[in-house]
Amino acid sequence: MRRKNSASDPLWYRDAIIYELPVKSFYDANQDGIGDFAGLIEKLDYVAELGVTCVWLLPFFPSPLKDDGYDISDYRNVHPSYGSLDDFKQFLHAAHERGLEVVIELVVNHTSDQHEWFKKARAAAPGSPERKYYVWSDTDQKYLGARIIFLDSERSNWTWDATAQEYYWHRFFQHQPDLNYDNPAVLAEVEQVMDFWLELGVDGFRLDAVPYLVEREGTSCENLPETHAILKAIRGYVDAKWPNRMLLAEANQWPADVRAYFGAGDECHMAYHFPLMPRIFMGVHLEDRTPIVDIMRQTPEIPEVCQWALFLRNHDELTLEMVTDEERDYMYLAYSADPQARLNLGIRRRLAPLMGNHRRRIELINSLLFSFPGTPIIYYGDEIGMGDNTYLGDRNGVRTPMQWSGDRNAGFSRADPARLYSPIIMDPVYGYQAVNVEAQVRETSSLLHWMKNLIHLRRLFKAFSRGTLEFLDPVNRKVLAYIRRYEEDVILCVANLSRSVQPVQLDLAALAGYTPVEMLGYTDFPVIGREPYFLTLGPYDFYWFELQRRGD
Amino acid sequence: MTSTGSSSSAEATKPAATTAELAVAIASYNDVDTIGDVAAAVRSGLEEASDGTASLGGASIVESRILLADGGSNDGTPQRAREALGPASASLMEVTYPRAAGDLLDVPYHGRPARARALRAILEGAHTLGVKACVVIDGGIRTVAPGWIPALAGPVLEGGFDYVSPFYARHPYEGALTKGIVYPLFRALYGVRLRQPAVGEFGGSARLVEAYLDADVWDLDSAQIGIDLWLAAGAAAGGFKLCEAPLGRRTFHTRGEALDLGTTLVQVVGTLFADLEGRVDVWQRVRGSVPVPLIGDPPAVVLETPQVNVEGLIESFRLGYRELRDIWTWTMPPKSIVDLRRLLDVPPQRFRLDDDLWARIVYDFALGYRLRVLPRDHLLRSLTPLYLGWLASMILQVRDVPPEGADARIEQLALAFEAEKPYLVSRWRWPERFRT
């Protein structure tokens, strides 16, 4: 059963608010120390009450778990630690019953080296159909123009396989061999995998690592026309057979390059806006709107049926690939003075620690997330201000158990603490006894309640999800002001990026006659006239105004 | 579950036209005392409409069908209907719908079990016939007149209206729940001055019927109780063209025991509140209200003055204050409770519950319902003494004024609901919980 929204509205993803979560981290129902689908079902009411409309599940498939599940060894099943396929079906039904869409991962660039396809490939003869599922070479000097992504752990994109007596290609870890999309049989396999999950009723796929599908000599092996052709084929297949299902591209590229992943509305429905996220952080730290406005002005128009996916934090490091060297230096100095927090080209921290646990800064940065053009994604635990543990290695420090209460194991599991898949956050500031759902449900001024209110408010206005964006240009650069318009709705957003009170004069002459109604309190402000509109904003204040034309 | 057919089945008992311009549907359940008069009135109304005796605003009906949706009467209601229709029974189409064993245990305020399923079957039948207009009449009404049919169908067929709501003549003391909560709340929310949105009769256009059938509401639990209110809200919030038709008096025979006030409040007000969540993007955009045109001349009626024990109402309020104040603190701000406290000591003649306070109380309860600050049933039942206090206050203000003065007083109340609507919007958007 699919919920009516995604079943009937082909653009449902444009109005969605997505909640990203790893099954293993959310709730452990069978008390083995690892979160599972049964636990997730128990906590679905929490997710629904938060006001989000869509759940994005991180990989939950059988896997050796050398890359937290992005190394898949069986595309058609559930990792036994998380439950069974029946458990997943029950979860899917329960989510749809609550009006939640479900998006799952489709990791199509590579598999685990434990996948049957790879086992057969390395054992098969060179040139055989089985061998051709992956990319092989007798030299590691091909495709030298391709950068190495995981600089901290890999020295080459080729690894020698003693069984096959050839090198195999991998853009990520060496245990993740890349599939060979020059072989049509691979695409056919992927289509069958999609059929399997779409038949069950999932509403969309996050397509992991899509820029790297195809390799060509003399190129960076990223964003190649052949890769786009594969994605168009996937989209065509889905549209023809499974209408209204959504494809979200993970393409960590500059906006102009990401634009290609939308095609003419015939490739991916959504793609992440990677460069925006670090510049929001930069703008807040610099107390200057310039980085944010610049990147948004560089953002190309996308087809009407497409949408940007916006996020502040996710399961990976705060990636700084899509910034200049100078900007990266600034971000490291500003947000990761402790080198322990750095990983690859990024910062492995959660939102609250990045904001210094400053409540008003957290609110401000979320207000930007929820008022910029795109579909916002909330990373589990950020709605309560969870912290991280940068000593856990790789990106595990931002994947710790959800903090449900002040009980043992943060209420996440009744297992012995030693059995937990990850230590609970226990420091005095972000520890589970200080930061947990139970306390924040009871405390009406909590971040959790604030987030719920903001989410519900955003859902009221399609101008946020579908509207145009127009920046204003006040003299005071500590203030970011912009207008969102959709059909009859006109919304004015004003944010003070600084820690001190700021005045601002906005040129709103074109909107003379409108009455700004502050959305949160539904409070009328003075009618806009021809003169500059004067506002004063407290530290990290933001206003959302619904501009009403009275007497209509 | 016992079933006499699928929810979508609509079958003719006798050969008749498979298409029609107008369908008049009677929803019945154990109405043998009234169904004959209702059926006869429908028959006459259609005859007058087709031969031009009755005004349809210039339209004439070529083909019409009568639909009967009976909820499994055991008193011979369907047979009585067929007898009363006489030759017209040839065009009768009996629509069937699933019934459940629990239907009779959970009877809604209008006394008709499984009414939502009955209405769905009626609308599906009308849609199948391809009608331009569909009129629905309750089989338990004692006062149906032939003129009701053209009054409810004419504005659709000729006036281009989508939803025709009856406007029944009521004494100022009658229909107090509608006047005190349903009408002003409905008007403030959806911006239309539809005065009786919870009644069981209406006329609807083909496009409205289609929109109703396409809605994702029919299987909801709340629909079984409050489907009539939901249909009116759907028409008002959906941008359809609304009007009212004056039909005179509406009296009906009681099916079983009448519901107590608390249960009625739970059902009627609960339906309105439940509907708020799903239409939030509509009602939070609406400012002010527009009148709904009254199409037709009101029949002359004589209204009897019901006996009301105002002192008893006030005493119920005071008792409620003492017993339920603690519950009210979950959803009402301290200021409102202090204002109510002042009413405990005033003499009955000076007992007045201000309109703005009453509007805020209703809005507070709407928000408490949304936030589930208490079990919803308990919360709504605790509204009963407050409502009785409002009723006492209103009666004291209108008992010595002419009917038009009473109408003006309700208009004043409705304006207060509109004026206080920002209070609801702001609290809805940024809820303040008074207790945790």
Determine which of B221, B373, B426, B427 to mutate to test the interface with A (most A C-beta atoms within 10 Å).
B426
Contact B426 A453 (CB under 8 A): no
The torsion angles phi and psi of A207, rounded to 5 degrees, stand at: -90, 110
Q: What is the CATH number of domain A4-109+183-459?
A: 3.20.20.80
Does residue B383 share a domain with residue B283? Answer: no
* Residues A539/A499, Cβ–Cβ less than 8 Å: yes
CATH superfamily ID and name for A116-169: Oligo-1,6-glucosidase; Domain 2 (3.90.400.10)
Alpha-carbon gap: A27 to the closest alpha carbon of chain B (Å): 25
DSSP designation for B294: B
> Which residue's structure tokens are 């002192």?
B311
Task: Write the ipTM.
Answer: 0.80
Residue A2: pLDDT above 50? no
User: If interface means Cβ-Cβ distance under 8 Å, which residues of chain A face chain B?
Assistant: 4, 442-444, 453, 456-457, 459-460, 462, 519-523, 548, 550
Alpha-carbon gap: A391 to the closest alpha carbon of chain B (Å): 37
Contact B429 A522 (CB under 8 A): yes
What does DSSP say about strands A101-107 and A204-208: parallel, antiparallel, or unpaired?
A: parallel
Does residue B315 share a domain with residue B285? Answer: no
The torsion angles phi and psi of A352, rounded to 5 degrees, stand at: -60, -45
Alpha-carbon gap: A328 to the closest alpha carbon of chain B (Å): 38
Task: Establish if B296 belongs to a structural domain.
Answer: no
* H-only helix segments in A404-511: 437-442, 447-460, 462-466
Enumerate residue ranges in chain B where pLDDT < 50.
1-15
**Catalytic position from the list A71, A208, A382, A394:** A208
Sign of CA pseudo-dihedral A240, A241, A245, A251: negative
On chain B, the residues whose CB falls within 8 A of the CB of A98 are none
pLDDT in tens, A246-299: 999 999 888 888 999 999 999 999 999 988 988 999 999 999 999 999 999 999
On chain B, the residues whose CB falls within 8 A of the CB of A456 are 429
**Catalytic position from the list A15, A113, A250, A382:** A250
Task: Establish if B194 belongs to a structural domain.
Answer: yes
Q: Classify burial at B219, counting beta carbons within 10 Å of its beta carbon; exposed 0-12, middle 13-18, buried 19 or more.
A: exposed
Alpha-carbon gap: A388 to the closest alpha carbon of chain B (Å): 29
User: If interface means Cβ-Cβ distance under 8 Å, which residues of chain B face chain A?
Assistant: 216, 280-281, 284, 287, 422, 425-426, 429-433, 436
Domain span holding position B414: 310-429
pLDDT in tens, A99-135: 999 999 999 999 999 999 999 999 999 999 999 999 9
Distance between CA atoms of residues A365 and A347, nearest Å = 17
Q: What number of residues does chain A have?
A: 552
Q: Which of A365, A407, A396 shows the shortest CA–CA distance to A382?
A: A365
Count Cβ–Cβ pairs < 8 Å, chain A vs chain B: 32
Distances (CA, A) of A98 to A60, A92, A213, A397, B371: 21, 10, 36, 31, 17
Task: Specify the DSSP element, H or E, that contains A376.
Answer: strand A375-379
Out of A4, A443, A521, closest to residue B430 by CB:
A521
Alpha-carbon gap: A277 to the closest alpha carbon of chain B (Å): 27
On chain B, the residues whose CB falls within 8 A of the CB of A521 are 426, 429-430
Does residue B109 share a domain with residue B81? Answer: yes
Sign of CA pseudo-dihedral A267, A268, A269, A275: negative
Task: Establish if B434 belongs to a structural domain.
Answer: no
Does residue B182 share a domain with residue B318? Answer: no
- Name which of A31-40, A307-316, A537-546, B384-393 the model is least confident about: A307-316
Does residue B22 share a domain with residue B125? Answer: yes
Does residue B25 share a domain with residue B118? Answer: yes
Distance between CA atoms of residues A296 and A255, nearest Å = 9
Task: Specify the DSSP element, H or E, that contains B134.
Answer: strand B133-138
How far, in whole angstroms, is CA B405 from its chain's centroid? 24
**A250 is an active site residue:** yes
Q: What is the C-alpha radius of gyration for chain B, rounded to an integer number of angstroms?
A: 22
Identify the pLDDT of residue B10: 44
Task: Specify the DSSP element, H or E, that contains B265.
Answer: helix B261-278
Q: Cβ contacts of residue A374 below 8 Å, gap of 6+?
A: A273, A307, A308, A309, A310, A465
Out of A460, A523, A548, closest to residue B280 by CB:
A460
List the single residue in B with minimal CA-CA distance to A547. B285
On chain B, the residues whose CB falls within 8 A of the CB of A522 are 422, 425-426, 429
Does residue B336 share a domain with residue B233? Answer: no
Identify the pLDDT of residue B61: 61
CB count in 10 Å sphere of residue A550: 12
pLDDT in tens, A156-170: 999 999 999 999 999
Q: What number of residues does chain B have?
A: 436
Does residue B211 share a domain with residue B62? Answer: yes
The torsion angles phi and psi of A200, rounded to 5 degrees, stand at: -70, -25
For chain A, first and last CA: distance in Å?
43
Contact B436 A443 (CB under 8 A): yes
Task: Establish if B373 belongs to a structural domain.
Answer: yes
Count up the domains in chain B and report the number.
2
Alpha-carbon gap: A510 to the closest alpha carbon of chain B (Å): 22
- What three-state secondary structure class fits A241? helix
Single pTM value for the model: 0.87
Does residue B176 share a domain with residue B47? Answer: yes
Identify the pLDDT of residue B11: 44
Does residue B272 share a domain with residue B347? Answer: no
Sign of CA pseudo-dihedral A334, A335, A339, A343: negative
Percent of chain A predicted with pLDDT > 70: 98
CATH superfamily ID and name for A466-548: Golgi alpha-mannosidase II (2.60.40.1180)
Does residue B42 share a domain with residue B153? Answer: yes
List the single residue in B with minimal CA-CA distance to A439. B436
Residue A32: pLDDT above 50? yes
Contact A442 B436 (CB under 8 A): yes
Out of A444, A456, A522, closest to residue B426 by CB:
A522
CB count in 10 Å sphere of residue B409: 17
Distance between CA atoms of residues B436 and B432, nearest Å = 10
Which of the four pLDDT bands, split at 50, 70 and 90, describes residue A363? very high
Identify the pLDDT of residue B108: 61
Q: Which of B27, B23, B151 shows the shortest CA–CA distance to B96?
A: B27
pLDDT in tens, A153-205: 899 999 999 999 999 999 999 999 999 999 999 999 999 999 999 999 999 99
Q: Cβ contacts of residue A271 below 8 Å, gap of 6+?
A: A248, A249, A250, A251, A258, A261, A262, A306, A308, A309
**A301 is an active site residue:** no
Task: Establish if B203 belongs to a structural domain.
Answer: yes
Q: Cβ contacts of residue B412 below 8 Å, gap of 6+?
A: B355
On chain A, the residues whose CB falls within 8 A of the CB of B284 are 460
Identify the pLDDT of residue A4: 52
List the single residue in B with minimal CA-CA distance to A453. B430
* Residues A321/A370, Cβ–Cβ less than 8 Å: no
Contact A519 B284 (CB under 8 A): no
List the single residue in A with minimal CA-CA distance to B288. A551
pLDDT in tens, B195-216: 999 888 999 999 999 999 998 8
Instruction: Kindly report the average pLDDT of chain A as a whole number.
Output: 94
Which of the four pLDDT bands, split at 50, 70 and 90, describes residue A381? very high
Out of B216, B287, B433, closest to residue A444 by CB:
B433
Q: Which of B301, B302, B324, B311 shows the shortest CA–CA distance to B385?
A: B324
Distances (CA, A) of A475 to A290, A494, A537: 12, 13, 15
pLDDT in tens, A420-469: 999 999 999 999 999 999 999 999 899 999 999 999 999 999 999 999 99
Out of B429, B432, B433, closest to residue A457 by CB:
B429
Does residue B248 share a domain with residue B360? Answer: no
Q: Which of A209, A214, A210 shows the shortest CA–CA distance to A235?
A: A210
Q: Cβ contacts of residue B319 below 8 Å, gap of 6+?
A: B385
* H-only helix segments in A242-380: 255-259, 276-286, 290-298, 325-335, 351-354, 359-371
Q: What are the structural domain ranges in chain A?
A: 4-109+183-459, 116-169, 466-548
Task: Establish if B334 belongs to a structural domain.
Answer: yes
